């Protein structure tokens, strides 16, 4: 666990119900710090499993098909760049 500095503590105490945004200067990644109480309230919304993007592929394909992307006419878009090279 990392100890808080006085300025960090003041920032967190200013509004305990809102997350505090912090940025890693080296990586530019953004993080949010929330109180343990707030985390426990939202914990049921966070899945216990690791998200795997490949698991979405079947649902994405089904959604795309329902939107008409499996229509044979749409196949022309698969070769659009071949027929229209960039200048």
* pLDDT over 80 (residue 86): no
Q: What pLDDT digit, counting tens, does each position of 27-53 carry?
A: 999 999 998 888 999 999 988 877 788
Which residues neighbour 11 within 8 Å (Cβ) at sequence distance 6 or greater?
20
pLDDT tens by residue, 2-21: 888 898 888 888 877 889 89
Which residue has 């953004």 as its token pair?
30
- Residue (of 51, 8, 53, 6) closest to 33 by Cα position: 8
Residue with tokens 């505090």: 20
Q: pTM higher than 0.85 for the full model? A: no
């Amino acid at each position: 666990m990392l100890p808080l500095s006085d300025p960090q503590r003041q920032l967190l105490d200013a509004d305990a119900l809102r997350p505090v945004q912090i940025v890693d200067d080296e990586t530019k990644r953004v993080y949010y710090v929330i109180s343990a109480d707030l985390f426990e309230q939202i914990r049921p919304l966070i899945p216990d499993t690791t998200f795997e993007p490949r698991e979405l592929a079947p649902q994405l394909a089904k959604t795309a098909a329902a939107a008409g992307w499996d229509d044979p006419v749409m196949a022309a878009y698969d070769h659009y760049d071949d027929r229209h090279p960039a200048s």
